C-alpha cells in the first residue's frame, strides 16, 4: 500500500471517530478545525513516508520584549517532554508565529496509534497554548545552577 493510500485509510478512520469524512487532497494534506479554535494540518511527505501533524498555536507579538518572552517560553516547554509529548514547538516558516509539530513515520505507526497520536496532539496543543498565554519563570531569572559533575 502506498503512503498516500495509508494516509487516506487512517484519515478515514480518524474521521469516523470525529463523526466527519476526512480525506487528503491530491497533495496529501488535510486540515481539521476544532471548536476550541485549534486548527490542525496533517500532511504527507510521500518520499520519506512521514505524516506531519502541525498546529499554529500563537501569532508572535510585534513588541520585541513580548516576542522574546514567548519564544523563550516555547524553548523552555520544548525542554520538557511532559509538555510537548512526541512533538516540538518551532517558529512558523514565516517567523511570525509559534507552531506545534509532530512527525509520524508510517513504518512506526498503525491506524490505532495514529488516531491516539492525533488525539494526544490536540490535547497537547490546548495545554501548550495555555502555557504560552501564561509564561513561566524565564531562564534568565532562574539564578545560577550549582555545579555537581566531576568532568575534568
- DSSP string for 81-98: HHHHTT-EEEE-TTSSEE
Percentage, residues of the chain above pLDDT 70: 86
Task: Write the pLDDT tens digit of every residue in 91-108.
Answer: 999 989 999 999 999 999
Cross-sheet strand order for the sheet of 50-59:
29-33, 39-45, 50-59, 97-105, 88-91
Is the pLDDT assigned to residue 152 strictly greater than 80?
no
Task: Write the pLDDT tens digit of every residue in 31-82.
Answer: 998 887 889 999 999 999 999 999 999 899 899 988 888 888 888 888 766 6
Amino acid at each position: 500500500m502506498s503512503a498516500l493510500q495509508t494516509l487516506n485509510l487512517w484519515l478515514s478512520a480518524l474521521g469516523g471517530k470525529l463523526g466527519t469524512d476526512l480525506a487528503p487532497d491530491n497533495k496529501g494534506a488535510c486540515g481539521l478545525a476544532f471548536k476550541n479554535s485549534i486548527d490542525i494540518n496533517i500532511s504527507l511527505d510521500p518520499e520519506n513516508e512521514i505524516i506531519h501533524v502541525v498546529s499554529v498555536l500563537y501569532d508572535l507579538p510585534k513588541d520585541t520584549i513580548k516576542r522574546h518572552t514567548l519564544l523563550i517560553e516555547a524553548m523552555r516547554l520544548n525542554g520538557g517532554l511532559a509538555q510537548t509529548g512526541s512533538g516540538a514547538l518551532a517558529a512558523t516558516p514565516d517567523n511570525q508565529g509559534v507552531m506545534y509539530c509532530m512527525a509520524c513515520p508510517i513504518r512506526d505507526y498503525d491506524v490505532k496509534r495514529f488516531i491516539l497520536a492525533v488525539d494526544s496532539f490536540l490535547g497537547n496543543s490546548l495545554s501548550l497554548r495555555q502555557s504560552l498565554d501564561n509564561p513561566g519563570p524565564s531562564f534568565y531569572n532562574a539564578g545560577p545552577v550549582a555545579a555537581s559533575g566531576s568532568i575534568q
